[in-house]
A and B are shown apart, each in its own frame.
Chain A
Amino acid sequence: MHDSSRIEVARTDRRERLTDLARRYGREIGLPAVVIILMAIFGFTSDVFLTTQNLRNIGVAAAALAAVSFGQTFVVLTAGLDLSVGSTVALVSVVAAYGIRSHGIALGVAEGIFAGACVGIVNGLVITKLNVFPFIATLAMLSILSGLALNLSGGIPISGLPDRFGDFAYDQVWGLPAPFIVALVVLCVSHLILQYTRFGRHIYAVGGNQEAARLSGIEINRVKVLAYIFCSFFAAVGSIVLTARVASGQPTLGVSLPLESVAAVVLGGVSLFGGRGSVIGVAFGVAFVSILSNGLNLLNVSSYTQMMVIGAALILAVAMDQIFVRRRSSE
């Protein structure tokens, strides 16, 4: 064989190997790569983007979205969806604020989180016992919870929370913002549950093939209800972080979270058809959404344009998911 033909064969071989790698791990390495590119772009165009203070700001701003998105992951992995997370955040904010004012920080926070978990139970039961589609059930709950939060608060923010609670959002632990640490804890807990517990395996099984899961003896309804409880529980944790940040109970908090959390989950590689994805990927999805928002804010891009960019990113992520599913079914 001539040298030139050998070189050509080697080149084709390398190209095929790269294509194969991209095909196998494209979804896993694609988003981290995009996040790094995005950071490089904003680092180049903004003098302050890579400063410690700004990175802390991103960490604080991302914390609540992260907690909500990790919870959303549980539900999406079962092929469900929770559009009520934004209103759950608002309701928990109001309940926790009243609780903190009346019973102190610890009990108030516990009351808020308990209220969040109750929302999850209702969502789960409506979907499994009344057979209402998750989209409709949680869309209706969004309206119910929003009205409940506004009714409880009389439509006005609940102020007068102790400074110690509000300071939490600005505290630092080992140089890291306290809300960011909370998000890291939620990430670790979610990862452990999904990867190393029987319940985690059941979630993947139910989302991957519900009928097969049923035949293998998994109690599908129980798994689904628990997934919605975890989702609302983590949304409540996110709400506590946000409530501390704004140092008041806000009945309209979290309006953009349903879209942003679904965007982070899908961008992070979790399939909307269920059964595939991980919270680590979702963490990168959260990083993408938060960095994009921060960078565009620093560059003075209006919030309306930001909404368009995040919407477009969501469509792209879902389109990629569809391509992946089609390819998998054709293989």
Chain B
Amino acid sequence: MRARSLVGIGIGVLVAVCTAVAVVDKTALADTKSGTIGVSMPNIKGPWFTPVLFGISDEAKKLGYDVNIQDAGGYANVDKQVTQLSNLIVQKVKAILMDPADPSAFNGAVRQAKEAHIPILGAGSPIVASSVQGDGAVSSSHCNIGHELAKGAKALLPNGGSIAILAGPPGAFWASDRLRCFKEDIAGSTIKIVAEQTSEQDVAAALSLANDYLQRFPNLDLLYGADDTYGIGIARAAQGAGKCGKIKILFAVLGEQAEEMMKAGCADYVVAQQPVLIGRLAAQMADELIKGKQPSQKSIEVPLFAVTPANLGSVNKTNMQAPKGWTPGT
């Protein structure tokens, strides 16, 4: 009887929570001024997505829009992201900004958005679908990031050497694009790749993998991280093994933690993107399209910066990092 009461209370609480969340959200969404911009991301955590979302949210607020951020919960949930995109279309948002987990999965859903006359733009991705063109995009080319990473590897290892690679999440097109272009540039040089693995986009997983590499290749010259989640894992592994400065560490994206690791001497070359600027420009482009104007540039490529311990102090990080403590929804 007591157990049955507990289950009854549990069901009651579940339904009450759903109702409360629903009512609170309806009230929140009712305060719309110029409408809502929908945002669809493979996930919203980490030093890349947080500043992009900050840029979008802050700029959209200035322009008088509400923002509805849909988070698929990881790169593996590509089907969920497709569903969430369909949900944004049903909600008749004014425009959709998205970073597709895999562009080849979004052709049908992007066609749906076009049929519903909802402008759809890449925010952090140059494309929204593999065979359907979006209405615009603001990003840094992943291939160019690969080229910049190769430039970094050559600068750090002028006489060549061995590299082990933390290639990014399995199945993530951005990570494979970066690595492909990186490999193109180092091909024929004296830099040799001795190991390469994909892993979950998680600092702990990256740390374990980097530790294994350090054990297996004690004379390794450089570790490559697809982004700073991997970079931080690598830097912490090198720190734990007392190898900071002895082994070179190279990765993309300069988040707060990456900056700290560089200050501690455990990161040597970071190809920094400007995610806050990407978010802001994407929101501005969406605003222009909503108002029926044609943006002056359909595809904006935001420049990259090479950050090293030598120029870390002088680089302006306003467009690279969200304000401390900011999270989507705050």
Chain A interface residues (CB < 8 Å from chain B): 34, 37-38, 41-42, 44-46, 48, 51, 53-54, 57, 60-61, 64, 150, 153, 155-157, 159-160, 163, 166-167, 169-170, 242, 245-248, 250-256, 292, 294-305, 307, 309, 312-313, 315-316, 319-320, 322-323
Interface string of B283-322 (1 = CB under 8 A from A): 0000000000000000000000000000000000000000
Which residues does chain B contribute within 8 Å of A155, judged by CB atoms? 167, 170-171, 176, 198
Tell me whether A60 and B15 are in contact (CB under 8 A): no
Tell me whether A170 and B26 are in contact (CB under 8 A): no
Tell me whether B10 and A57 are in contact (CB under 8 A): no
A253 to B86, CA, bound (A): 18
Let me know if B19 is at the binding interface, CB within 8 A. Answer: yes
Tell me whether B69 and A170 are in contact (CB under 8 A): no
A61 to B111, CA, bound (A): 17
Cβ contact of A57, chosen from B72, B79, B87, B176, cutoff 8 A: B87
Tell me whether A48 and B79 are in contact (CB under 8 A): no
Cβ contact of A41, chosen from B19, B77, B80, cutoff 8 A: B19
A300 to B84, CA, bound (A): 10
A238 shortest CB reach to chain B, Å: 11
Which residues does chain B contribute within 8 Å of A54, judged by CB atoms? 87, 90
Which residues does chain A contribute within 8 Å of B76, judged by CB atoms? 252-253, 255
B120 shortest CB reach to chain A, Å: 16
Measured CB to CB, the nearest residue on chain B to A146 is B170
Binds A, one of B99-107, B150-158, B222-230: B99-107
Which residues does chain B contribute within 8 Å of A34, judged by CB atoms? 11, 15
A302 to B130, CA, bound (A): 27
Let me know if B46 is at the binding interface, CB within 8 A. Answer: no
- Name 5 interchain pairs, CB-CB below 8 A, sorted by A: A60-B86, A163-B107, A252-B76, A301-B21, A302-B71
B193 shortest CB reach to chain A, Å: 16
Which residues does chain B contribute within 8 Å of A51, judged by CB atoms? 90
Beyond contacts A155-B170, A307-B73: 8 other A-B pairs, Cβ-Cβ < 8 A, are: A41-B22, A48-B92, A157-B78, A170-B111, A250-B171, A253-B78, A304-B71, A309-B18
Which residues does chain B contribute within 8 Å of A299, judged by CB atoms? 21-22, 25-26
Tell me whether A170 and B80 are in contact (CB under 8 A): no
A18 shortest CB reach to chain B, Å: 15
B1 shortest CB reach to chain A, Å: 9
A298 to B22, CA, bound (A): 9
Let me know if B4 is at the binding interface, CB within 8 A. Answer: yes
Summarize A's interface: helix, strand, loop or mixed: helix
A317 shortest CB reach to chain B, Å: 9
Tell me whether B77 and A157 are in contact (CB under 8 A): no
Tell me whether B14 and A313 are in contact (CB under 8 A): yes
Categorize the interface residue count of chain B. Answer: 35 or more
A246 to B80, CA, bound (A): 10
Measured CB to CB, the nearest residue on chain B to A57 is B86
- With A245-B82, A247-B104, A248-B105 in contact, do A316 and B173 touch (Cβ < 8 Å)? no
Tell me whether A309 and B17 are in contact (CB under 8 A): yes
Let me know if B29 is at the binding interface, CB within 8 A. Answer: yes
Let me know if B240 is at the binding interface, CB within 8 A. Answer: no
Cβ contact of A42, chosen from B22, B74, B84, cutoff 8 A: B22
Tell me whether B25 and A300 are in contact (CB under 8 A): yes
Let me know if B68 is at the binding interface, CB within 8 A. Answer: yes
Which residues does chain B contribute within 8 Å of A156, judged by CB atoms? 171, 173, 176
- With A41-B15, A300-B25, A319-B7 in contact, do A252 and B170 touch (Cβ < 8 Å)? yes
A292 to B11, CA, bound (A): 14
Q: Pick the 9 closest A-B CB pairs, nearest first.
A: A246-B105, A303-B73, A45-B22, A159-B104, A252-B76, A299-B25, A155-B170, A248-B104, A54-B90
A61 to B82, CA, bound (A): 9
Tell me whether A57 and B11 are in contact (CB under 8 A): no
- With A156-B176, A316-B7 in contact, do A57 and B25 touch (Cβ < 8 Å)? no
- With A246-B102, A250-B105 in contact, do A297 and B14 touch (Cβ < 8 Å)? no
Interface string of B117-157 (1 = CB under 8 A from A): 00000000000001100000000000000000000000000
Interface string of B171-192 (1 = CB under 8 A from A): 1010010000000000000000
A292 to B17, CA, bound (A): 12
A316 shortest CB reach to chain B, Å: 5
Tell me whether A294 and B104 are in contact (CB under 8 A): no
Measured CB to CB, the nearest residue on chain A to B30 is A47
A263 shortest CB reach to chain B, Å: 13
Query: For window 12-46 of chain B, which residues contact chain A by CB distance below 8 Å?
Result: 14-15, 17-19, 21-23, 25-26, 29, 44
Measured CB to CB, the nearest residue on chain B to A252 is B76
A322 to B6, CA, bound (A): 13
Which residues does chain A contribute within 8 Å of B86, judged by CB atoms? 57, 60-61
A196 to B97, CA, bound (A): 51
Measured CB to CB, the nearest residue on chain A to B90 is A54
Which residues does chain A contribute within 8 Å of B29, judged by CB atoms? 300
Which residues does chain B contribute within 8 Å of A294, judged by CB atoms? 83, 87
Most chain B C-beta atoms within 10 Å of own C-beta, residue among A242, A252, A253, A295: A252
Most chain A C-beta atoms within 10 Å of own C-beta, residue among B44, B83, B171: B171
A305 to B44, CA, bound (A): 13
Let me know if B91 is at the binding interface, CB within 8 A. Answer: yes
Interface string of B198-220 (1 = CB under 8 A from A): 10000000000000000000000
A147 shortest CB reach to chain B, Å: 10
Tell me whether A309 and B14 are in contact (CB under 8 A): yes
Tell me whether B7 and A320 are in contact (CB under 8 A): yes
Query: For window 55-91 of chain B, which residues contact chain A by CB distance below 8 Å?
Result: 68-80, 82-84, 86-87, 89-91
Which residues does chain A contribute within 8 Å of B23, judged by CB atoms? 45
Cβ contact of A251, chosen from B79, B91, B171, cutoff 8 A: B171
Tell me whether B79 and A292 are in contact (CB under 8 A): no
- With A247-B105, A247-B108 in contact, do A53 and B90 touch (Cβ < 8 Å)? yes
Tell me whether B22 and A295 are in contact (CB under 8 A): yes
